[in-house]
Amino acid sequence: MNAFLSQIAQKAADRWAAALALPGVVYLAVIAATLLARRGHTLISPGPVTAQIDHWLAGHSSTGTLIVVLAAAVAASAGLALAVEGAAQVIEYLWFSFGWGSPGKLIAARRQRKWDRADERYGRALITRYRGQDGSDGTLDAALAARDQISLIRPGSPSWMADRIRATGERVHLAYGIDLVSFWPRLWLAIPDATRAELGAARAAVTREARLLAWGLLYLVPAIWWWPALAITAVTCPLAWYQARLATNALASLAESAVDLHLRDVAGRLMLPADPGSYPEAGAEMTLLLRKE
């Protein structure tokens, strides 16, 4: 048991070091570079920088001093990691929140108008297809893709990611008549471990990108005094946002697929009809049962 616990602790420490501590060390190195740059040194030629470090080490060569400096660096890195974790949680809340106050209402209204215009174009293309006037130029598919790129359903929040998750619940309700919020805990207990692992990995990817975005925003601090640090923010933040959208879409698709594949298994355990033709009526009955109404 001691060996097992030691192995778990080692894996946790490795994961913490890779995900949090190492980015903190890199950030501290950028801060140090910023301080050196403000003293007139340049990173294009590393000679002055290394000379400055050698000079400092020569004046503080005692083992105790180096240990204190190393401990301070580790503590600062851990503190930065905790701050980034908190910032990542705030970012996730904003990504999946259905309201940001008055600014959020304005953004949501703008997205709704954009979606309505795209939906009208799709409706016209659909009418043209049914009248037999549609050629092979893919107008209908392009119109549908343009609308779905905004949102799979009519937007109701300022964030694409929040609407993507909401779309999963509405699509499941429309197809099966169930409330996904009430149904999900039961489904989670019924799905295989491999499916849980896939869903967990997709969810972890969203958190990972929120953390990456938080690190990117943190580099705005040294960018105030040393403009090259701004390049890190300029690259990291858009990349994290784009990858977070991909991860959210993957998570929503996997959740909807889990419902499609395992809905009837749960219905059978609840002694409800598992015949596909019985939905959405059976789904509405299931929702009443799960809500204990």
Residues whose CB falls within 8 Å of the CB of residue 42, separated by 6 or more in sequence, listed in order: 48
Average pLDDT, stretch 234-263? 93
Q: Which residue has the higher pLDDT, 8 or 231?
A: 231
Among 11-15, 50-54, 69-73, 279-283, the minimum mean pLDDT is found in 11-15
Residue 230 burial (10 A CB sphere; 0-12, 13-18, 19+): middle
Report the alpha-carbon distance of residue 214 to residue 89 in Å, rounded.
Answer: 9
Q: Which residue has the higher pLDDT, 239 or 278?
A: 239
Q: Which residue has the higher pLDDT, 115 or 33?
A: 115
Asked whether residue 38 carries a pLDDT value surpassing 90, the answer given is no
Q: N- to C-terminal Cα distance for the chain?
A: 46
Report the alpha-carbon distance of residue 104 to residue 106 in Å, rounded.
Answer: 5
Q: How big is the CA angle at 16 (ends 11 and 18), to the nearest 5 degrees? A: 95
pLDDT score for 250: 94
Average pLDDT, stretch 4-25? 52
Average pLDDT, stretch 253-282? 80
Report the alpha-carbon distance of residue 155 to residue 168 in Å, rounded.
Answer: 13
Percent of the chain with pLDDT over 70: 74
Asked whether residue 12 carries a pLDDT value surpassing 80, the answer given is no
pTM of this structure = 0.77
